[in-house]
């Protein structure tokens, strides 16, 4: 994980917590009811992936202004209605400015319907 983070110039992402639990333990506790039902490591990984997305959305919801949340939800609605057939999770991305007023976006993705290992 540290190697991937260095690629983005992130040196340290762990902070000292004010509570006695680390964030990894809290996320696992949050997901425990779902993980208890999982019958394979593949399913556990899917649950953790979705749980981390839900965690981050919860942080966004409680820490950004209402108008930004409204904008975010509008984009979600647009994705679900106009781009419904695309089921890929985007895991990583790179943005590059190209001549003129254009951006080039490269994404790393995998279909949600593909078996995860």
Q: Provide the percentage of residues in the chain whose pLDDT is more than 70.
A: 83
Average pLDDT of the residues of the chain: 85
Q: Bigger pLDDT: 99 or 17?
A: 99
Mean pLDDT of the region 63-86: 92
Q: Bigger pLDDT: 116 or 98?
A: 98
Backbone angles phi, psi at 95, to 5 degrees: -110, 135
Mean pLDDT of the region 14-26: 75
Angle, alpha carbons 33-52-70 (nearest 5°): 110
Domain ranges of the chain: 20-111
How far, CA to CA in Å, does 24 sit from each of 27, 35, 49, 91? 5, 14, 13, 19
Mean pLDDT of the region 74-99: 91
Diameter of the chain by CA atoms? Answer: 52
Whole-number pLDDT of residue 116: 44
DSSP label at residue 55: H
Say if pTM beats, i.e. exceeds, 0.95: no
Whole-number pLDDT of residue 117: 41
Q: Bigger pLDDT: 83 or 57?
A: 83
């Amino acid at each position: 994980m540290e190697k991937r983070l260095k690629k983005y110039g992130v040196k340290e992402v762990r902070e000292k917590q004010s509570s006695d639990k680390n964030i990894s333990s809290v996320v696992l506790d949050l997901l425990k009811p779902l993980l208890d039902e999982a019958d394979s490591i593949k399913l556990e990984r899917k649950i953790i992936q979705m749980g981390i997305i839900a965690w981050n959305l919860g942080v966004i919801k409680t820490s950004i202004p209402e108008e930004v949340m409204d904008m975010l939800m509008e984009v979600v609605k647009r994705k679900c209605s106009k781009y419904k057939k695309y089921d890929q999770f985007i895991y990583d991305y790179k943005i590059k400015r190209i001549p003129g007023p254009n951006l080039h976006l490269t994404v790393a993705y995998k279909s949600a319907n593909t078996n995860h290992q």
